[in-house]
Amino acid sequence: MKKHNFTELGKAVLKTEAESIANLIERLDEKFQRACELLLDCKGRIVVIGMGKSGHIGGKIAATLASTGSPAFFVHPGEASHGDMGMITNKDVVLALSNSGETSEIITILPLIKRLGIPLISLTGKALSKLATTADVNLDVSVANEACPLDLAPTSSTTATLAMGDALAIALLEARGFTAEDFALSHPGGSLGRRLLLHVEQIMHTGDAIPLVSEQALLNEALLEITRKSLGMTAIVGNTGKLVGIYTDGDLRRTLDLGLDIHNTPIKDIMTPHCKTVKKGLLAAEALQIMEQHKINALLVTDEQEQLVGALNMHDLLRAGVV
C-alpha cells in the first residue's frame, strides 16, 4: 500500500486557498464599494442564491449577513423557478453566486429578477459570463486554480467566495454601527448568548456580600473584610456611602514592602483612590474587557451618584461563562 504524506498534502491545500483569498484584496475597488452601498440601502431582504457548492456557501453568507444586522435569507434557484420567486419582493437585493457565471438555474430566473427592478449583485469567477454582465455589480472571485489536484472539485473558488461574503457582511456591520448587544439579540442561545446578554447586575455581589470599610478604618480591618468576603479586595466608602477608593490583594503585597503597622495605618492613606468602576447595566462581556485592558481582577459597581451598589471579580465572570 502506497504511503502518503498527508501533512504535506494538507499544507499544499491550505497554501493554495490562502493565496486565493489574498489575491482578493487587490480587487476590492469601486465595485465592492457600490455593492456595499446597494446592500446597505436595501429596504427589504438580501436574497442569496446559488447552486451546488455555491449554494452551500450562499447559505453560510446569508446566515452571516442575517446575524450581523443585514436581514438575509437563501433561496434555491431551482426552487425559485417553481414558485419560490414569490419570496423575492421589489424591495429586496439579490446576491447571486456562481463560479462559472453560467449556472442554468440562475440564468433562467435572471429575467424575473430584472423584471422586479431590484439590484443584482453577482460573485463570479468569469467576468464576461452571462451572470456577471447582467448584474448591476459583479465582484470578481476568480482563482488561479482549485486546491484539488485535478483542478475540478470546488475548493479555492468556494473559499474565495465565502471570504468575499464575509467581507461584505462585516463592512455592512461596521456601516450600520452594529454593537455587541445587537449581536447578542441574534444569538440568545448557548454560551455565546450567555456571554453577550448577561449584565453586570445579574452576577455582581450586593448588600452584605459587598466587601467594604469606611475611610476611617485601619488596615487590619480592611484585611479582615477582604478575607470575610473572598473577593480579593474591599471598597472604601465615605460617610455618605460614596465610593472613595479600593484596596486589593495586589495593594497588600505592595504594602508589605513598606513595613507598615497594619494595626495603626489608616486605610485611606494606602488605598487606591479614583478606582475603575462600572454601572450595573453594563454587559458582563464589557466588564471583562475593562478588566483585561486595565489588568485588574475585580470591579466595583456604582450608581449615577457614585454610591456603591455591587462588586464582582474575575471568578464571577468565570462562573457565569463569560470568560
Comparing CA positions, the residue from 38, 149, 53, 139 lying closest to residue 94 is 38
Contact 153/146 with Cβ under 8 angstroms?
yes
Q: Return phi, psi of residue 8, to 5°.
A: -65, -35
Round the average pLDDT of the chain to a whole number and report it: 91
Tell me, what's the pLDDT at 251?
A: 87
Q: Report the pLDDT averaged over residues 265-273.
A: 92
Q: Residue ranges per domain, the chain?
A: 6-178, 200-319
| pTM of the complete model beyond 0.75 | no
Tell me, what's the pLDDT at 185?
A: 66
Count Cβ atoms below 10 Å from residue 107 Cβ, excluding itself: 17
Comparing CA positions, the residue from 167, 164, 170 lying closest to residue 140 is 164
Tell me, what's the pLDDT at 247?
A: 94
Residue 147: partners with Cβ closer than 8 Å, 6 or more residues away: 12, 13, 16, 17, 155, 156, 159
CATH class of residue range 6-178:
alpha beta
Tell me, what's the pLDDT at 188?
A: 62
Please write the tens of the pLDDT for every residue from 74-126. Answer: 999 999 988 899 999 999 999 999 999 999 999 999 999 999 999 999 999 99
Domain 200-319: homologous superfamily in CATH: CBS-domain (3.10.580.10)
Lowest mean pLDDT among 106-115, 157-166, 256-265: 256-265
Tell me, what's the pLDDT at 148?
A: 87
pLDDT at residue 245 tops 90? yes
Most confident among 40-44, 198-202, 247-251 (mean pLDDT): 40-44
Residue 250: partners with Cβ closer than 8 Å, 6 or more residues away: none
Give the integer Cα–Cα distance in Å for 114 and 86.
14
